[in-house]
Amino acid sequence: MSVQGQRLTPLEMLAKLVSFDTVTSNSNLPLVEFVESYLQSWNVPYIRLPNETGDKAAIYATVGPQDRGGVVLSGHTDVVPVTGQSWTTDPFTLRVENGRAYGRGAVDMKAFDALALALIPEFQAANLKTPINIMLSYDEETTCLGVIDGIRRLGHDLPMPKAAIVGEPTSLEVVDAHKSVVTFNTTVHGFEAHSSKPYLGASAVMTAADMIAELNRIADEMMERGDPSGRFDPPYTTVHVGVINGGTARNIMAKTCSFHWEFRGLPSLDPQEIPQRLDRFVQEVALKRLNRFGEFGRVETKLEVAVPGLAPETGSAAETLALRLANRNQTQTVPFGTEAGHYQAAGIPTVVCGPGSINQAHQPDEYITLEQIEAGAAFMRRLAATCASS
């Protein structure tokens, strides 16, 4: 559908965005093409940032002056799957009922995207002195890497922003910190032999058990170390093994064993500490036991996803701005990861602040309240007024 110069309300824009099935395993290009058509109809300059295979893309658009840094409103376009969930109606058709808007991605986080896009005509009418930039990314729900190509261009061929607001659902509370999320796949390679003669082989399962026990010890230490700020729930870095698979039979020394694990680190945690400690244990203990009867085995650990944490920056441009726009007087933390740490790592003051509650995300009949959409629109209008005055 063409939207040539057509004004869409935030709810109408949300309905359109929800209608695109942008589950992370799918392409988001139909949504991207719709957004590009909409931006063209309002003469908003933008760039498309495709991934390596060309089946997904991010968009970076600028409303206002093109020659200076401004404020980035950052949202992702991908959503989590609906497979196996019991939805009352089609998850990709927005349903408005009893003061709520239901649909996959309605709260996480197409409502924020819809607000930023729907209010473009108002941004233009405000005659902005400071530009408002809109970044729409992909793959946030799996890797948080879909925003990287765009961020790399900021401060190079695109002006460096003064602040970034990542619009994950926080009920419009201003979040200045969250933990990192770092995940790994570890595979232990052993050698098959009859279990009655263990000296003829090496058990990958037994060695994996040693490593998991070490991760448990590290997790206990992280719990004891705690969170000096007292702001996080739980108040410590967590270490968790979620999946383990290995062996073929009780009486066969296991040839392979793999396990999928993660840590969610406080912003102060060195992201290399836990994997380095596990590697040291492997070299000094686990491999020696695995290969005590011969050079039978090895261990490989592969980094899967690394979402950086967001560290508090008291008094930053992003914090000061967002607190004023949201009518808040203090910041919060959240337990989930976001793209915000990537902006911060690039030297851009960043906070997380968006409409709706994370409690409604990722579940059947996901929804955002109409009240939160209205509050989000008021937030955006205050941003436009601020950017028009300075």
Residues with a catalytic annotation lie at 78, 140
Q: Rounded CA gap, 260 and 355, in Å?
A: 33
- Of 176, 17, 108, nearest to 359 by C-alpha is 108
What is the C-alpha separation between 130 and 159, in angstroms, rounded? 12
Nearest to 71 by CA among 312, 309, 314, 353: 353
Structure tokens belonging to residue 65:
């002056």
| DSSP sequence for 131-147 | -EEEEEES-TTTTS-TT
Whole-angstrom Cα distance, residue 52 to residue 271?
27
What is the C-alpha radius of gyration for the chain, rounded to an integer number of angstroms?
A: 24
| Residues in a beta bridge with 4 | none
Tokens 């992370």 sit on residue: 24
Q: Are strands 100-102 and 95-97 parallel, antiparallel or unpaired?
A: antiparallel
Kind and range of the H or E run holding 243: strand 238-246
DSSP 3-state assignment of 264? strand
Structure tokens at 311: 């560290």
Give the span between the Cα atoms of 195 and 192, in whole angstroms.
9
Nearest CA to 113 among 59, 46, 37? Answer: 59
Cα–chain center distance at 384: 26
Q: Is the distance from CB of 71 to CB of 130 less than 8 angstroms?
A: yes
Amino acid letter, residue 312: P
Crossing angle of helices 273-281 and 204-225, in 10° steps, is: 140
Tokens of 138: 């992909």
* Contact by Cβ (8 Å): 355, 96: no
